[in-house]
Amino acid sequence: MPTIETSPSPALTTLSSSFDRHPVVKSSRLIQVYLSGPSGLGVHGVLKSISRGGLQILTPIPVPVRSTVLITIAGCCTVPAEVFYCVKRSKAFQVGIVFSTRHKPQITVGAFAAIHEIEEPFRVSRGHVMDVTSSCLSITCKTRLTPNSRVRVESNGWVIFGKVEGVVASSMLASCVAIHLDAAFPSLFEGPASSLEVDGEKTED
């Protein structure tokens, strides 16, 4: 699994080395986050939680509260945001961030979609979009995902983070998965799915 890195600096090397031993870095690359700022700030972290209004990330160093930052989640376009709080959690810092803008994903019914679980066992499933609303996405796939699991969906040039609300068997071989939409970002990559390949992810078509 990839580890969190900070900008090369003697002052940050010790913090980074200490942080690398913390369990928080054992995560899928698909939830890696880069946070930068006009003052020269540049730090890698991991996504802890996300909602329509903002997100929480874990970083090895503190981030100034009320500072304007740019957030880049792996495979997603950079978005502006503001740091709402920063508190120490064991060997990491939990940073609360509020989005400056919100995106409404443009996903069409019938579009191909890749679903990544962003918690262990990091399984990947593929299917097609059956229905889209302002708060929910329904996808038919062969994998029976676990209700309440957190997922990252890639479809139509968008990356969507959400939670599996329900799974209903639609046939002997497929299930319809309802995913509550938490946040959406334009993808850096063209096509239905990201080019990011993550070691340890289990693909189930």
**Whole-prediction pTM:** 0.77
> What are the DSSP calls for 58-93, one per residue?
EESS---TT-EEEEEETTB--EEEEEEEEEEETTEE
- Return d(Cα 172, Cα 77) in angstroms, integer: 38
What average pLDDT does this structure show over 131-143? Answer: 89
Residues 76/92, Cβ–Cβ less than 8 Å: no
CATH topology for 112-204 is Thrombin, subunit H (2.40.10)
List, as one string, the DSSP characters of 182-204: EEEEEBSSSSSS-S---TTPEEE
C-alpha to C-alpha distance for 49 and 57, rounded to whole angstroms: 7
- DSSP letter at 66 equals T
Query: What DSSP element (H or E) covers 14?
Result: helix 10-20
Which residue in this structure is represented by tokens 């699991």? 149
- What distances in angstroms separate CA 1 from CA 24, 31, 81, one per listed residue? 11, 12, 27
- Give the contacts of 199 (CB within 8 A, at least 6 positions apart): 1
Q: What pLDDT, on a 0 to 100 scale, did the predictor assign at position 122?
A: 83
Where are the CATH 2.40.10.220 domain residues in the chain? 10-99, 112-204
> In this structure, which CATH number among 2.60.290.11, 1.10.150.120, 2.40.10.220, 1.20.120.140 belongs to the domain 10-99?
2.40.10.220
* Amino acid identity, position 131: D
Name 76's bridge partners: 187
195, with CB counted inside 10 A (0-12, 13-18, 19+), is: exposed
Percent of the chain whose pLDDT exceeds 90: 53
Q: pLDDT (tens digit, 9 = 90+) per residue, 68-104? A: 999 999 999 999 999 999 999 888 999 999 998 888 8
With 60 as the cut, is the pLDDT of residue 47 above it? yes
∠ CA 40-42-45, nearest 5°, is 160
Q: Does residue 148 carry a pLDDT above 60?
A: yes
Cβ(59)–Cβ(43) below 8 Å = yes
